[in-house]
Each structure stands twice: as structure tokens, then as C-alpha cells.
Structure 1
Amino acid sequence: MRDVTLVQIFDHPITQKYVKRSGMAHAIACAYHAFKLSKQYGVNPDLAAKAALLHDIGHYTWYRNGKWDYSLYKENDIHAIKGAERAHKLLIRLGEHPKAAKEIALAVLLHTDSYLPQGELHLKPLQKVVHLADEADEEPSGGHHYRKIDDQKARSSLAMLDELINEYLNKEDLKELNSSS
């Protein structure tokens, strides 16, 4: 049983404020990518979709002259750090299990290495899924942050993904139950 749904996350004012300004269409696309990738990597699809939905919740508005400035972003951004904190706080407020909230926040923190010094980062499977989901939807010069989606379509897309996750988890629970009999 899931403690918090994607629709509950979407409906929260914090999500509306911060995910919308970084690109709700991108966040939803990433959540779908993460759901698909979760099967391939043996990761809980609920955690993967939530982390992917929230992966850019920490974005600062790097605008110059009213337009997104990709070079300012690349040079100065630490959105993953702020995003991990924001995602964790939001999930706890919504009633997510603290262990799940921590795993999701860590995946948000490590979805990009743009703020880290050069070196190789070894990601856990959930973190890798969120990183790959983000990469799968990226566009040159941050164009993925500009795509629009209306609230009704966004909400119905997330409700559909909630159903897919529930179906998948129910099948897995049934398999586990049958194998232990």
C-alpha cells in the first residue's frame, strides 16, 4: 500500500509553486520514464516515479532579461541540494513513510552531478533510474523546462500513472504471496 500518491503530491501548493516553475511537463515525463526504468533496474516504481516527479523541485529561477539563462544555471546552480530538502519536507508533510521520503530525497539529490566536483559518482539503482529518466527527457539548452501542460491534463496523467504503479505493485504482491505458499 502506498502512503502518498502522485496526485496528492501534484495537488500540494509547494509542488504547484516549485515544480511548475521548473517545468511540470518535464517532471511528469520523467516520472513516466522512471516508472518504465524501475522495472529494468529492479527498483520500487512508486519511489522512482515520486523522485522523478520531484527531481527539479529545488530549481532557482536563473533568469536574465526575463528569459531562462542556461549559462547562469550551469555555472551557479545547486538545485539538487535544495530540491532534496524540499522534497523530503513535502513528502513527510503528506504522510510518506520517513524511510521512503529519505530514499526519494537522496535520489533527488543525486539525479545530477552538475554541482559536484569532477569525479565518478556511484549511484544506487533508484538514483540511477531518476538520473536516466531526467536525461531521457532533456532538451538542448534547458528547453525541457519550457514545455507546458495544463493542470487538468497534468493531474489526469499522474492519476493514470498512479493506477499503473498500483497495478504493478499489486501484481508483485500477488507473486510474492504465491511464492511463499
Structure 2
Amino acid sequence: MRDVTLVQIFDHPITQKYVKRSGMAHAIACAYHAFKLSLEHNVNPDMAAKAALLHDIGHYTWYRNGKWDYSLYKENDIHAIKGAERAHKLLIRLGEHPKSAKEIALAVLLHTDSYLPHGELHLKPLQKVVHLADEADEEPSGGHHYRVIDDKKARTMLAKLDQQIDDELNKLTLDELNSPS
């Protein structure tokens, strides 16, 4: 049994404010990508989908003349740092287990290396899945932040993904119970 669902996260006013402004359609697409990738990389699908859904929750509105300014974003953004903090606080408020909330927040923090000095970053499997999910849905010049989705469709898609996660976690639990010790 999961402590917090994707629909609960979606319904929270903090998610509505910050994820919507960075692109709810992108966040949901990334959650689906993360779910699929989690199965390939033997990562907890619940944590992967949550981290992917929240990965851009820290975005600042880098707009100039009413339009997203990708160059301002690339030059000045540290959204992953702010996002990790917001995601952690939100998940704890919703009742997520503190250890899971921390791992999800770290995956949000490390989903991009755009703010880090050049070098090689070694990601844990959950962090890598969220990074790959984000890359899978990116468009040139930040176009993925412009896609829109209405709330009803978003909520329906997240409820469907919640069910897929529950099914997968139940399957894993049954497999563990049925495997010889």
C-alpha cells in the first residue's frame, strides 16, 4: 500500500501552482516514462513516477516579454535545487514516508546537471530513471514546458498511472511471496 498517490499530489495546491507553471503535460508524460523505465531498471515504480511528476516543481518563471526565455533559463536556473526542497516538503505534508520523500527529493535534485560545474555525476538507479524520463520528453528550446493539458484529463491520466503502479507493486509482492527462499 502506498502512502501517497499521484492524484493526491496532483490535487495539492502547491502542485497546481508550481508544476502547472512549468508544464503539467510534461510532468505527466515524464511520470509515464519513469514508470516504464523503472521496470527496465529495477527501480520502485511509485518513487520513480512521483519524482518524475515533481521534477520541475522548482522552476522559476524565466519569461521575457510574456514568452519563455530559454537562454535566461539556461544561464541562471537552479530549479532542481528549489524543486528538491518543494517536493520533499510537499510529500512530507501529504504523508509520504520520510525515507521515500528524501529519495524522491534527491532524484528531483539530480534529474539535471545543468546547474552543476562540469564533471561526471554518478547517479543512483532512481535518479537515472528520472533523468532519462525527463530527457525522453524534452523538446528543443524548452518547448515541452508549453504543452497544455486540462485538469480533468490530467487527473484521469494520473489515476490510470496510479492503478498501473498499484498493479505492478502488487505483482512484485506476489512474486516475492511465491519465490522460494
Please classify the TM superposition score into its range, dividing by the shorter chain length.
Answer: over 0.9
Residues in 1 aligned to 2:145 and 2:175: alpha-carbon distance in whole angstroms? 39
Name the residue aligned to 2:90: 90
Corresponding residue for residue 59 of structure 1: 59
Whole-Å separation in 2 of the counterparts to 1:180 and 1:81: 43
2:127 maps to amino acid: Q
Match of 1:34 in 2: 34
Stretches of 4+ aligned residues off by more than 2 angstroms:
none
Q: Which amino acid aligns with 1:37?
A: L
Q: Give the distance between the partners of 1:61 and 1:175, measured in 2 at CA.
A: 45
Q: Which residue of 2 aligns with 1:135?
A: 135
What is the CA–CA distance in structure 2 between the aligned matches of 1:145 and 1:157, rounded to whole Å?
A: 18
Closer, same or farther in 2 for the Cα pair 1:74/1:5, shift >3 Å? same
CA displacement at 1:180 relative to structure 2: 4.8
Aligned to 1:47: 47
TM-score w.r.t. structure 2 length? 0.99
Structure 1 stretches lacking a partner, 5+ long: none
**Amino acid across the alignment from 1:168:** E
CA distance in 2, matches of 1:171, 1:129: 21
Give the whole-Å Cα distance in 2 for the aligned partners of 1:103 and 1:27. Answer: 18
Question: In structure 1, what is the equivalent of residue 163 of structure 2?
Answer: 163
The CA deviation string for residues 92-149 of structure 1, in whole angstroms up to 9 with x for no partner, is 0000000000000000000000000000000000000000000000000000000000
In the alignment, residue 74 of structure 2 is paired with which amino acid?
A: K
Deviation at 1:179, TM superposition (A): 1.3
TM-score, normalization by structure 1? 0.99
* 1:81 and 2:81 matched: yes
Aligned pairs, number: 181
Q: 2:38, 2:84 → 1: CA distance?
A: 20
Q: Provide the C-alpha distance between the structure 2 equivalents of 1:148 and 1:133, rounded to a whole number of angstroms.
A: 18
In structure 2, how many angstroms separate the alpha carbons of the residues matched to 1:89 and 1:14? Answer: 10
Q: CA deviation at 1:24?
A: 0.1
Secondary structure of the equivalent of 1:96? Answer: coil
1:148 is matched with 148
Stretches of structure 2 lacking an aligned partner (at least 5 in a row):
none
Identity %: 88
**1: CA distance, partners of 2:133 / 2:175:** 27
User: Structure 2: how far apart are the matches of 1:179 and 1:67?
Assistant: 55
Q: Distance in 1 between matches of 2:42 and 2:102?
A: 19
